Amino acid sequence: MKLSEHVEHIRQLIDQAFRNRLGRMGINEGQLISLPNAPAERKRMETIREVFIAETGTVADAYEKLVEELTFTLFNRLAALKVMEAHTLHPEIVTRRESHGGRSFAHLAWLEQNPNARNEEAEGLLLFLEDQLQKLASDIPLFSPQHPYHLLPTALQIKALSEDEV
């Protein structure tokens, strides 16, 4: 597969993951669905959506722009992590190896420090990634959980992305 095809494939996987995540939050292309126990991130996504509605003029275009921004942010984060890994600027966060039990080196080390996370979905992959992003955020604002477009797909979707060799 050519690099451009691989990049587009990963982008499409991330795009679909965010459409699924937003749907579970009650946000879709046409409307907001009232949910009794909406996740905390929903209010932030609603606010961004409202700004995009004012900017684009339609709910559908605002939704597409929201998905695009979320996708672009996660793709850039993952690409930056891979570049930092390639230059050995930090232990591997994204790249999984069989020698580490199908985990990244950093995830394996994190599990040793957080053994209870082994019982979480995908061995705490989402908690691990949030922790790693937080650590990097002081030097690189793109990684900050306070970034306006900070939202992560489910742990299983993140795992599937890393299996696709982001």
Domain ranges for the chain: 3-163
What DSSP character marks residue 120? S
151-162 tens-digit pLDDT: 999 999 999 888
CA distance 70 to 140: 17
Q: For residue 1, what pLDDT is reported?
A: 77
Q: For residue 165, what pLDDT is reported?
A: 59
27-44 tens-digit pLDDT: 999 989 999 888 889 999
Angle between helices 155-163 and 125-137 (to 10 degrees): 80
Q: What is the DSSP string of 38-84?
A: --THHHHHHHHHHHHHHHHSSHHHHHHHHHHHHHHHHHHHHHHHHHH
pTM: 0.92
Residue 163 has pLDDT above 80, yes or no: no
User: Of 71, 157, 85, which Cα lies nearest the Cα of 122?
Assistant: 157
